A and B are shown apart, each in its own frame.
Chain A
């Protein structure tokens, strides 16, 4: 029965391979600590943005909210990214590079994390339905 439950809920692949410039990164399902850190960074960066501390050129013309989410996620899941792409800060990326990262984030990482989040929540509903339906 557990097999059926697990099959019904679609978990994403345990790893996700992404390429940023010439570098390849393999991301694993984040642990709870990483999820907490991502959420905390989103809050902190959003506050900085509101306080006008983030370089306006890099974020203003693109969806600010997604950019903040993206940077928070990259800072936690790929902490070496800034060093690898030779930038002092993801907040100071040129517009084109920012758009490139945002594209990778929105097309690959965000759907992968969203699917994980939904699979976890669907598992709760499915389990309860399965038990009630017996």
Chain B
């Protein structure tokens, strides 16, 4: 097995290791890489994922609130001409019945 094969196998067996090195721009087998433990890496991964999800949720809620305040929810309920005619027909019918 040559070095290239070794690195390929290492990355296949340790996908998080590669994720961590890419995130921090750290070379394989460098001092920083050698000193980190797989457990430290996994904790960083879990924290990152949960934090990103939380930020995403926060952004979405903020956007929803902004849309609500701008009255976008009213625009979303706009009806087309055909629907408008149908509603008018119903209204007329209801008068006829009474």
* B1 interface residue (CB < 8 Å to A): yes
* B39 interface residue (CB < 8 Å to A): yes
**Known A11-B39, A31-B35; contact A120-B50, beta-carbon cutoff 8 A:** no
Count residues of A near B (Cβ-Cβ below 8 Å).
Answer: 26
Contact indicator per residue, chain B 10-47, by CB within 8 Å of chain A (1) or not (0):
10000111000000000001000111111101100111
Complex CA–CA separation, A11 to B1 (angstroms): 31
Tell me, rounded to whole Å, the shortest Cβ–Cβ distance linking A110 to chain B.
16
Which of A2, A31, A43, A117 contacts B6, CB < 8 Å? A43
A interface, by DSSP: helix, strand, loop or mixed? helix
**Known A5-B46, A40-B6; contact A29-B37, beta-carbon cutoff 8 A:** yes
**Known A39-B6, A43-B1; contact A131-B49, beta-carbon cutoff 8 A:** yes
Count residues of B near A (Cβ-Cβ below 8 Å).
Answer: 22
* B53 interface residue (CB < 8 Å to A): yes
Which of A2, A30, A40 contacts B50, CB < 8 Å? A2
Tell me, rounded to whole Å, the shortest Cβ–Cβ distance linking A24 to chain B.
23
Which of B29, B42, B45, B49 contacts A33, CB < 8 Å? B29
Contact indicator per residue, chain B 59-85, by CB within 8 Å of chain A (1) or not (0):
000000000000000000000000000
**Known A1-B50, A134-B53; contact A35-B1, beta-carbon cutoff 8 A:** no
* A102 interface residue (CB < 8 Å to B): no
Complex CA–CA separation, A96 to B83 (angstroms): 89
**Known A116-B39, A123-B42, A124-B16; contact A36-B34, beta-carbon cutoff 8 A:** yes
Complex CA–CA separation, A10 to B42 (angstroms): 13
Q: Is the CB of A31 within 8 A of B49?
A: no
B residues whose Cβ falls under 8 Å from a Cβ of A: 1, 6, 10, 15-17, 29, 33-39, 41-42, 45-47, 49-50, 53
